[in-house]
Amino acid sequence: MKDLKWDKDRLYQLVRGKLGDYSFVVISNREPYIHTMSGGKIVWNRPVSGLTEALDPVMRAAQGTWVATGMGDADKKVVDDHNRVAVPPDKPEYSLRRVWLTEEEIKGFYLGFANEALWPLCHVTFFTPPIFRETDWNTYKKVNQIFAEAVSQEVAGGKAMVLVQDYHFALLSRLIKEQNPKITVGQFWHIPWPTHEIFRTCPWQEEILDGLLGNDLLGFHTQSYCDNLLETAEHSLGAKIDREQSAVVHRGKTTLVQPFPISVDFDWLSREADNEAVVREMEKMSRQFNLKGKYVGVGMDRMDYTKGIPQRLQALEKFLERFPDYRGKVVFIQAGMPSRTQIESYKDIGQEIEDLMKGINDRYGTDSWQPVIPMTKQLTPSALAALRRLANFCVVSSLHDGMNLVAKEFVASRIDGDGVLILSQFTGAAAEMGEAILINPFAIDEFARKIKEAIEMPEPERRRRMKAMQKTVASNNIYRWGGSMVSKLISMAGV
Ligand code: F6P
C-alpha cells in the first residue's frame, strides 16, 4: 500500500475523525504561546520549536488542553481563574493551562535535576558529569506532582489521552495513571537514552524507570535508544522484556517502547527559504563578511556542550594547518544561540568557544581575511535560512544528540539542490541521513580531512546526496512524527 504523505491537514483530520469523546492533553515544560510586556503593552508570540509546530494541529483538531510552565512576564495577566488562556490568542481553538513555579522550584527542577543531572546523564559527552543533588531531586518530584494535579483538574475524571513531553517529567505518567488508570498515557523522550552501565550511576534510577513505565507508550528518536531503555529496565528493575514487541512488563503492566524520529516541517522550510527577504539577507551577509569567491562553512547551534563546537573549531584549525592552500579561501560562520546560561557548564562552554575562535583568527587571520565569524545574537528565521543557503558545507558535530534538527533544516532549505552536510555519527539524524559525510567529532585529524572532502566534492555527487536526503526528510517530516504517535495512542485507547 502506498504510504501517504503526512501534512498538517492529514494530522488535523486524523484527530478530528478519531478522537470521539476523548479529551486530549499535552504536557511540556515550555509553553506553545508566551505573553510578555513590550512598550507597556501585552504581546504574544510562539517559540520557534518543532514540537509546537507538530502538536499545534493536533491540539486545534482536538480542542484539547496544553499544560505548561508559565514563563512570560505577562502570562499571569491574561489567564482566567483556572489559569487557562485560549490559544492561538488571535484565533482561539484550544486551551493553554499555565502552571506557576517559584524561582526555587525552577532552580531545582529545570536548572538542577533536569539539566544538571538528567541532561548530562543521557548525553554521553565524557567531560560534563551529572550532578545528583538530593535537593534538586526532591524539587523535581514536587514539580512533577504539581503538574499531575493540574492534569487531573483538566481531565476531571473523564476519558482522556495524554501525551507527556520530555525529560522534565519522568515521574508524571505514573502519577497520572495512579489518579485515573483509564487515561491512556504516552510520553516522548526528546534526548538519548543511555546504556544501563551509564544509567545506573543515577541514585534514583529505579524511581525514574518506574515513573516512565507508568506510560502505555514510550517514544524515543531511534531504535537504539529504545533498546537501551529495554536493557536498563531489565537490569535496574528486573522487569520482563518482550523484545519482539519492543515492550516492558513491569508491575503487571505493559509499556510499548517505540521509535518516532522527530523532524521538521520540510515544505514550510523550503518555501520560506525561497523568498525575497532571504535573498536580501544572503546579499547583505555576503557583503558584510566578504564571502564572495570563498568556500563558506556554517555551524548553527544552541550553545550546549553536547554540540561538539570546540571539536569543530579544533578540526577547522587542523584543516588550515594541514592544507595551507585553503588559507584565505575558506570562511566559517559559527552561529550560537545562548542557552541555559545560569548553569556553570554552559557558561564555561561559551567562554571556551569564544577563546578558540579568537585563537584561530589571531593565528591565521590576515588584514583581508577572518577565518571564523562568530554570530551570537538571536537570528531571525530569514537570517537562518540565508546562512543555510550561503553554505558550501554545514557542520553538525554533536558529541551525542537525540536527533539534531539543524541537519534536517539545512537540507530542507537547500532549494538549489546543492550543499554538503558534515554530520556526526553520534546524532539520531545520522540513522536517516547516511548520504551526509559522517564524522566522529572526537577524531580531529580525520574530521579535518572530511572538511577538505566536503569542499572538494564534485557537484554531481553533492547533488545526488542532497537529493536523497531531501527525499527522506520530506517524507519523514514533523507531521509523520506527530501523526504516528497520536495514531498509536488512539489505537491503544481502543477508540
Ligand atoms: O532536545 C531536548 C530539548 O528539550 C528540546 O525539546 C528543546 O528544544 C531543547 O532541548 C532546549 O531546551 P530548553 O527548553 O532547556 O531551552
Query: For 23-74, how does the pLDDT look when each residue is reduced to its tens digit (9 = 90+)?
Result: 999 999 999 999 999 999 999 998 877 678 778 888 988 899 999 999 999 9
User: Which among 134, 151, 140 has a CA at the least distance from the CA of 101?
Assistant: 140
Element (H or E) spanning 490, and its range?
A: helix 478-493
Give 179-223 pLDDT, tens digit per residue: 999 999 999 999 999 999 999 999 999 999 999 999 999 999 999
Report the separation in Å between the CA atom of 475 and the middle of ligand 1, taken as the mean of its atom positions. Answer: 24
Report the separation in Å between the CA atom of 200 and the middle of ligand 1, taken as the mean of its atom positions. Answer: 24
Same domain (yes/no): 415, 274: yes
Measured from the Cα of 168, ligand 1's closest atom is 4
> Quick check: 183 and 176 in contact, CB under 8 A?
yes
Ligand 1 and 190: CB distance under 6 A: yes
Same domain (yes/no): 110, 161: yes
- Which residues, including other chains, have CB under 8 Å from residue 13's CB and lie 6 or more apart? 61
Report the separation in Å between the CA atom of 318 and the middle of ligand 1, taken as the mean of its atom positions. Answer: 31
CATH number, position 360 = 3.40.50.2000
Residue 83: inside a domain: yes
Residue 324: inside a domain: yes
pTM of the model: 0.96
Q: How many residues does the chain have?
A: 495
Same domain (yes/no): 91, 17: yes
Ligand 1 and 30: CB distance under 6 A: yes
Residue 2: inside a domain: no
Q: Is 17 exposed, middle or buried (0-12, 13-18, 19+ CB in 10 A)?
A: exposed
Give 348-395 pLDDT, tens digit per residue: 999 999 999 999 999 999 999 999 999 988 899 999 999 999 999 999
Ligand 1 and 191: CB distance under 6 A: yes
Report the separation in Å between the CA atom of 198 and the middle of ligand 1, taken as the mean of its atom positions. Answer: 22
Report the separation in Å between the CA atom of 199 and the middle of ligand 1, taken as the mean of its atom positions. Answer: 20
Residue 1: inside a domain: no
Residue 249: inside a domain: yes
Q: Which of 109, 302, 303, 403 has most ligand 1 atoms within 8 Å of its beta carbon, as the pocket-test mutant?
A: 302
Q: Write the residue with the smallest CA distance to atom 14 of ligand 1.
A: 30
Same domain (yes/no): 77, 113: yes
* Amino acid 56: pLDDT: 84
Cell of 38: 513590550
* Amino acid 2: pLDDT: 59
Compute the distance between CA of residue 252 and CA of residue 248 in angstroms, rounded to an integer.
10
Range of the domain at 411: 266-475
* Amino acid 68: pLDDT: 97
pLDDT (average), residues 411-416: 98
Same domain (yes/no): 143, 270: no
Same domain (yes/no): 57, 89: yes
Compute the distance between CA of residue 35 and CA of residue 87 in angstroms, rounded to an integer.
11
Ligand 1 and 339: CB distance under 6 A: yes
Residue 442: inside a domain: yes
> Quick check: 160 and 90 in contact, CB under 8 A?
no
Same domain (yes/no): 460, 487: no
Other CB atoms within a 10 A radius of the CB of residue 384 amount to 25
Ligand 1 and 71: CB distance under 6 A: no
Report the separation in Å between the CA atom of 167 and the middle of ligand 1, taken as the mean of its atom positions. Answer: 10
Same domain (yes/no): 76, 123: yes
Measured from the Cα of 190, ligand 1's closest atom is 2
Q: Residues of the chain with pLDDT > 90: what percent?
A: 90
Q: Which residues pair with 186 in a beta bridge?
A: 163, 217
> Quick check: 481 and 12 in contact, CB under 8 A?
no
* Amino acid 382: pLDDT: 95
User: Which among 272, 286, 283 has a CA at the least distance from the CA of 415?
Assistant: 272
Query: Within 13 Å, how many C-alpha atoms sit on residue 393's CB side?
Result: 29
Q: Write the residue with the smallest CA distance to atom 15 of ligand 1.
A: 340
Element (H or E) spanning 336, and its range?
A: strand 330-337
Compute the distance between CA of residue 220 and CA of residue 202 in angstroms, rounded to an integer.
20
* Amino acid 50: pLDDT: 67
**What's the domain count of the chain?**
2
Same domain (yes/no): 377, 453: yes
Same domain (yes/no): 292, 410: yes
Same domain (yes/no): 106, 39: yes
Same domain (yes/no): 216, 359: no
Sequence letter at residue 48? V
Report the separation in Å between the CA atom of 461 and the middle of ligand 1, taken as the mean of its atom positions. Answer: 34
Element (H or E) spanning 420, and its range?
A: strand 420-424
Residue 3: inside a domain: no
Q: Could you give the C-alpha distances from 102 to 35, 67, 78, 99, 132, in angstroms and in order?
A: 18, 17, 19, 10, 21
Measured from the Cα of 49, ligand 1's closest atom is 8
Residue 341: inside a domain: yes
Strand 84-87, strand 372-375: pairing: unpaired
Residue 127 pLDDT > 90: no
